[in-house]
Structure 1
Amino acid sequence: MSEAIKLFIEDARAVSIEEAAKIMRLTFKRTGVEHPQPCPHCFGTDTFSFNTKKEKWNCRAGGIGGNDAIGMAAHCEGLDIKSREGLLEACSIVLDRDIPDEGERESNEDRAARKKRLEERRLQNQADAATRADSQADFREKERAKARGIIKAATVLRSVAAPPLGRSYLQHRCNSFPDASWLRVGANVSYWHGQDERGGPLELYSGPAIVAPFIGRGLVEIGCHITWVDLHQPPKFRPLLFGLTKKGLACGLVDWVFGDAPPLAIDLADGLYEQLPTKKMRGSKKGGLIPIAGNPDARRWVGGEGVENGTAFGVWEGWRGDSFYFAAGDLGNLSGPAEPSSRFAHPMLKKPDAKGVERPVMVAGPVPKRDQDADDAMWVADHVDELVLLADGDSERVMTAAAMARARARHARPRRIIPIVWPRAGYDFSRMAVETGE
């Protein structure tokens, strides 16, 4: 590899997620550091996002993510970053310049200057990475402290002192609720979105919410999961919240305020406003899980992505005394990252490449990534000998099946059985529970 190519790659490694996203013309929200949007590679509505503060990107549909601009560009363009060609193409994208000609001749002076610059770039990259790591660690600890504060301020769901809306929500969504102390309810939990005139966080809404802890090994609280509740908004029974997009701001529209009528359907379709998620996570979720009912000392664990599905399945089972029920929070935390070589072409879904040619969507495969960190997915206690994994039948089938197979492979241990339970096609367990009344 020529010095020109080495320097080209090092220059690309220095490009931030934000700089690359602008070059790639990805969508930025008007405020905040998290920017969800349809994945340029896997489609979906908000399955892809990048974070300009944490220097991370993630695709929930593809079950893949990373912390550098090169990997983000490779995923968005369907490039194989493990190949020389794919790596250089991804570098070319984030730098917005052509790949150098390896055959060009350099003088001794130019070569010496290039080597010096390459070494300086490497050292600077290392220093920047260390600074980012320190900043991220500080940010993560502050977020965990905020999460613990939210949990502490909420009341145990089963308590007579808890706002009844939490139990009513689970009754509507799951036909019942667990008689356990893990889940909590807050009467007025703030929903932060956007910034005020001084650049501080802006409270868009405050209302009742179910608060669930994320726990790591040792049952330490590392974060929390918040689900806002509105029993006047079936079938999900969560409030309708909207935000003004960057495109809407450019068109001269004003921020949506809670209590206003919902934006016009045409404005939502045109991307002037967006419907905001009514579930959020604070602190850390990576490697943790959400306890729903039972004791983690149990030898049988049962869980899937969301609290509602785990609760509905527990209700259907009658909350078995030998089981611990949990939720992973999302599919990526349930299954962990995939080995890149296990990626495969979706048998049906296709998308146009940069030249407009229809190509199959690539799916994160069923093989767990080699040498991954212990907290790359939720933890499962070593004593568990039966792990029941709950799949979502209303998610894209092929991608979900691959992720569930990856979860089973990741959590496999000698003498541990791991059945994967699927609901009816097009359903999740929560919807099945409501429609069957069981």
Structure 2
Amino acid sequence: MSDDVIKLFVEDARAVSIEDTAKILNLKFSARGHEHPQPCPNCGGTDTFAFNTKKEKWNCRAGGIGGNDGIGMAAHCADLDVRRRDGLLEACSIVLDRDIPDEGERESDQDRAARLQRLEERRQQNEADAAARADSQADFREKERAKARGIIKASSVLVDAAPPQGRYYLRYRCNGFPDASWLRVGANVPYWHGQDERGAPLELFSGPAMVAPFIGPGLVEIGCHITWIDLNEPPKFRPKLFGLTKDGIAAGLVEWAFGDAPPPDVDVADGLYEPLPAKKMRGSKKGGLIPIGGHPEARRWVGGEGIENGVAFGLWEGWRQDTFYFAAGDLGNLSGPAEPSSRFAHPMLKKPDAKGIARAVMIAGPKPKRDQQADDAMWIGDQVDELVLLADGDSEPVMTAAAMARARARHQRPEGQPRRLIPIVWPRAGYDFSRMAVEAGE
């Protein structure tokens, strides 16, 4: 009779889902999806542990262990040995959130005290490791910010710099440039990509570049945006750069050098070389913005993703004295993350799933994520009464429209405060404002 009671106790525990077990264990759930990565409650780490509520599985990479039921997951988190009968029943007790039947074996007080002591020591060690990682990341971030400030300091104010490439670049791209000191230009800014045989960063080339600061609240420089310039490469007037991929290294190919002919198209198509961006960011951009013209104390702000569109629109407006012109650096920094529940299916775009069936592409929705951090998107001055958001007409329109709507909602003042005017301005279909400005100038 006693064996039947214990067997039923164990079977009841096996019937508890991974999701319910995770709730009992106070594990973290991701905002969306079925996979929930996180630090392991036992082993520590950052994302070493995960459970999947759809597949009914869990896994700990740090401990090299996993399974497909809540008993094993609870046992690992609580440092119990399910190979021992008392360990198995203790894990079942956790999953069911009820005591072990009188007929079952239990841990001795000594074993329980030793196990809890081990868990506490690991918890303290995990916290110490996490703090050390945070300090290391903070040190790395501050070093990157220092490098960004060094790049800014080494460059000259674009409007009157001896190197003329910055002014020519903006004339070619936007039909003019701002009479302001925010944007800068460097004559020989290194472009780092890859590593040499000793693991040191490899300088792909060094050339003229437009340099712009990322500033945070208080106008503190937190990073920089770099646009390398090649006036012989219309229509973007940026150098064409290529990097050797892992497949290219495995194939015995050599690094592409600036000045060489572009790699054969077939090598690029086969993934042996990859085109590299001629724009990079150093330091931090998160929560910051790129000033273009005017001063952030203005009550009217105008800006979008890129510098070129902000310059073109400022030229079109005649650089209004009551306006601050800016760029966010990218669409994510402009709009911030989306509330997962606002995702929607693209009305036209589809892509094959794992089984080759065409499924609609899911788009991040127009609603800002709840409870997000202040620096999840660029900052806006409290005094701003009008925020003109510039959309990019040559990007995918549905995704862009959702992001712009999200930006408008994100940057609106809270309820109970005077509403902020936030119009979204679109260029001609298939264009951006810089291209419109160039064609208007011609």
TM-score range, shorter chain: 0.7 to 0.9
Q: Alpha-carbon deviations, 1:377-430, whole Å to 9, x = none?
A: 100000000000001111111111111011000100233100000111111111
When residues 253 and 217 of structure 1 are mapped into structure 2, their CA distance, relative to the original with a 3 A threshold, is same
CA contact (8 A) 1:156 1:162 kept: no
How far the C-alpha of 1:355 sits from its partner, in A, is 2.8
Counterparts of 1:119 and 1:345 in 2: how far apart (Å)?
Answer: 46
Secondary structure in structure 2 of the residue aligned to 1:217: coil
**Larger of the two Rg values belongs to structure:** 2
Q: Unaligned stretches of 5+ in structure 1?
A: 16-54, 56-66, 72-80
Report the CA distance between 1:260 and its aligned residue.
1.0
SS at 1:194 equivalent:
strand
Alignment of 1:294-309 (within 5 A): 294-309=294-309
- 400-409 vs 194-203, which moves further: 194-203
- Native 8 Å contact 2:175 2:438 kept in 1: yes
Moved more, 369-378 or 115-124: 115-124
Question: Between Structure 1 and Structure 2, how many residues are aligned?
Answer: 376
Match of 1:424 in 2: 428
| CA positional deviation for 1:113 | 8.0
Aligned to 2:401: 401
By how many angstroms is 1:70 displaced? 8.1
Alignment of 1:32-431 (within 5 A): 68=47, 85-86=53-54, 100-102=68-70, 107-110=85-88, 112=90, 126-159=127-160, 161-413=161-413, 414-431=418-435
Give TM-score scaled by structure 2 length: 0.77
2:429 aligned partner, one-letter code: A
> Separation in 2 of the partners of 1:294 and 1:248?
47
Counterpart residue number, 2:12: none
Distance 1:87 1:399 in 2: 30
1:2 to partner: Cα distance: 6.7
Structure 1 CA distance for aligned equivalents of residues 401 and 139 of structure 2: 36
Shift in CA distance, 399/123, structure 1 to aligned 2, threshold 3 Å: farther
- Displacement of 1:342: 1.2
| Deviations 1:310-366, CA, capped at 9 Å, x for gaps | 001111111111110000000000001111111111112222222333222211111
Mark the CA change 1:342 to 1:127 in structure 2 (over 3 Å): closer, same or farther.
Answer: farther
In structure 2, what residue type is equivalent to 1:109? G
Distance 2:64 2:303 in 1: 44
Kindly indicate whether the alpha-carbon contact (under 8 Å) linking 2:224 and 2:282 is maintained by their aligned counterparts in 1.
Answer: yes
Q: Is the 8 A contact 1:12 1:95 kept in 2?
A: no
| Equivalent residues of 1:12, 1:91 under 8 A apart | no
> Relative to structure 1, is the Cα distance of residues 282 and 111 closer, same or farther in structure 2, using a 3 angstrom cutoff?
farther
TM-score by length of 1: 0.78
Give the direction of change, closer, same or farther, for the CA distance of 1:88–1:345 in structure 2 (3 Å limit): farther
Look up the equivalent residue of 1:244 and give its one-letter code.
L
User: Whole-Å Cα distance in 2 between the matches of residues 406 and 94 of structure 1?
Assistant: 38
SS in 2 for 1:371: coil
State the SS of the aligned residue for 1:359. Answer: strand
Deviation at 1:112, TM superposition (A): 4.9
Identity rate of aligned residues, in percent? 73
Q: Contact 1:290/1:326 (CA < 8 Å) preserved in 2?
A: yes
Residues 258 and 121 of structure 1, relative CA distance in 2, 3 Å threshold = same
Distance 2:265 2:57 in 1: 39
Distance 1:384 1:296 in 2: 9
Alignment partners' CA distance in 1, 2:400 and 2:62: 30
Quick one: distance in 2 between partners of 1:252 and 1:308? Answer: 39
Residue segments in structure 2 that go unaligned for 5+ positions in a row: 1-15, 29-35, 76-81, 95-114
**Equivalents in 2 of 1:418, 1:272: separation in Å?**
45
Structure 1 residue 435: deviation in Å? 2.0
SS across alignment from 1:351:
strand
**Distance change (3 Å), C-alpha of 1:96 and 1:329:** farther
Shift of the 402–96 alpha-carbon distance from structure 1 to 2, 3 Å rule, reads farther
Distance 2:263 2:290 in 1: 34
**What is the Cα deviation at residue 162 of structure 1?**
3.0
1:221-240 superposed Cα distances (whole Å, 9 cap, x missing partner) = 01000000000000000011
Q: Which amino acid aligns with 2:154?
A: A
1:205 alignment partner, SS class: strand
Q: CA deviation at 1:197?
A: 2.3
Amino acid at match of 2:272: L
- For the 8 Å contact 2:17–2:69, the answer to whether it is kept is no
SS in 2 for 1:380: coil
How far apart are the structure 1 equivalents of 2:393 and 2:60?
39
Give the superposition deviation at 1:120.
7.6
State the alpha-carbon separation in 2 of the partners of residues 422 and 69 from structure 1: 44
Specify whether residues 299 and 243 from structure 1 end up closer, same or farther in structure 2 by C-alpha distance, changes over 3 A only. Answer: same
Shift of 1:129: 3.1
The alpha carbon displacement at 1:100 in A equals: 0.8
Cα offset, 1:187, TM superposition? 0.4
Measure, in 1, the Cα distance between the counterparts of 2:279 and 2:247: 24
Q: Secondary structure at the match of 2:437?
A: helix
Distance 2:381 2:402 in 1: 23
Instruction: Tell me if 1:435 matches 2:439.
Output: yes
Instruction: Indicate the residue corresponding to 1:29 in structure 2.
Output: none
Q: Cα deviations across residues 205-246 of structure 1 (Å, max 9, x unaligned)?
A: 100000000000011101000000000000000011110000
The answer to whether the 8 Å contact 1:225/1:279 transfers is: yes
